[in-house]
Amino acid sequence: MLAAVPDPRARRGVRHRLATVVAASMCAVVAGYRSYAAIAEWVTDLPGQAAVALGMDPARRPSESMIRRLLQALDPQRLSTVLGGWFHQRLPHPPVGDRRAIAVDGKTMRGSGDADTPAGHVLCHDDSVLDLPGYADDPLVDGCQVLDDPLFWPVHLLQYTHGEADELCAAFDVDEAEMWRCYSRLSDEHRWPVFSIGLPSGHSISLVYRNFKEDSGYDYHLHHPRWAEPVLLATIEGHYLGPGMCWGELVTVSRSGSLSGAVLSAQGLMLLLLPVMADTGLPADAVNELAGALQAFGAMRQPRRLAQLLLEGQGTWGPQPWQLVGDRRISAADRYATRSPDVMSDAILAEITTAFGAVPPR
């Protein structure tokens, strides 16, 4: 089936067939490994027999750089067409009235176009994003479909301003009534947007808009394929728990992570994860870095002023201290801390610290 996808590489020197690399990447993503580095890790750890079944020489497996270059060079429209046709041929056709609905959405590949070239658009569906432990009976929907709404970002950041809209409306130049209407749409109890950010370590961070009636908020969890249950990083609104990250971890995760289902820049990931961050030890360049992210996503009016206000208040918890104890970064927040020895084992605390990076040299 994948042989129908054109190989963009020159024939000379090709070690791994396109079908092998794409099939292995798909298997890795289904298993929860979503970044290029995580896919390469999955391929490296694959048992020899399984590697052979995918068409690999167990002694010479695709590298991270090779996987990344090939996947980025593929024609996304052609790949979508081939995969869609393959699924259509193999899925049973249930009787009318007995159909399972699956949300499939077209995604614009952010950064793939310019003034002369239209952005690439690819048909995609990541059912695994909607398969979250603890939310089996909740109406989860792929959050990527709301990212292109210019009102999404100021509404998302409301949780970091205690619901104060004035400064957000001014910086993003949006009408407050329109902003609150968007908030109502995003807080629909029948639709809970969910986002998943893959990390190079193989972990992933999920963000769920937990839209209980009159009790909406955000849940952030950390997942790994070998964990039976995810780890709660933070809950915002309702019962406050957290914070989930210090500033250095926010920056590192934003730069190394990848959003499942769409292409989002490091600045976009920073804004998506910002509500989970609280830190008393901000570096001197924190305001400028956050201001750049805000401006990139629509806060064109005095973005530095907004960044300064956000970092002074720091949302739910206000600035909170962190401690590095051996290989574990621990929240020293007085109340509601999740990354604490009282809540998590030393092994989990150490694994989170490693997954989030940003550990200063000793």
Residue-wise pLDDT for 267-286, tens only, equals 999 999 999 999 999 999 99
What's the pLDDT at 88?
A: 60
Asked if pLDDT for residue 108 goes beyond 50, the answer is no
Asked if pLDDT for residue 113 goes beyond 70, the answer is no
Burial class of residue 54 (count of CB atoms within 10 Å of its CB; 0-12, 13-18, 19+): middle
What's the pLDDT at 213?
A: 81
Most confident of 28-37, 45-54, 236-245: 45-54
Cα–Cα distance measured from residue 266 to residue 271, given in angstroms and rounded to the nearest whole number: 9
- Confidence tier at 128 by pLDDT (50, 70, 90): low
- The predicted-structure confidence for 160-201, as pLDDT tens digits, reads as follows 888 889 999 999 999 999 999 999 999 999 999 999 999 999
- Confidence tier at 319 by pLDDT (50, 70, 90): very high
With pLDDT > 70 as the criterion, what percentage of the chain qualifies? 84
pTM: 0.67
Q: Which residue has the higher pLDDT, 322 or 214?
A: 322
3-state secondary structure at position 96? coil
Q: What are phi and psi of 258, to 5 degrees?
A: -140, 135
Q: Which residue has the higher pLDDT, 258 or 130?
A: 258
The DSSP output letter for 290 is H
Q: Give the least confident one: 101-115, 217-231, 273-287.
A: 101-115
Helix, strand and coil percent figures for the chain, each rounded to 5: 40, 15, 45
Average pLDDT, the chain: 84
Q: Which residues pair with 207 in a beta bridge?
A: 195, 220
Cα–Cα distance measured from residue 162 to residue 134, given in angstroms and rounded to the nearest whole number: 27
Q: In the chain, what are the domain boundaries?
A: 15-74, 130-356
Closest CA to 348 of 251, 203, 153, 155: 203
Q: Which residue has the higher pLDDT, 336 or 331?
A: 331
- The predicted-structure confidence for 8-23, as pLDDT tens digits, reads as follows 877 776 788 888 999 8
Radius of gyration of the chain (CA): 21
Closest CA to 83 of 10, 29, 166, 23: 23
Closest CA to 339 of 207, 250, 241: 241
- Looking at the chain, how many residues does it have? 362
What's the pLDDT at 95?
A: 55
Closest CA to 335 of 352, 313, 318, 312: 318
What's the pLDDT at 121?
A: 44
Asked if pLDDT for residue 307 goes beyond 60, the answer is yes
What's the pLDDT at 89?
A: 63
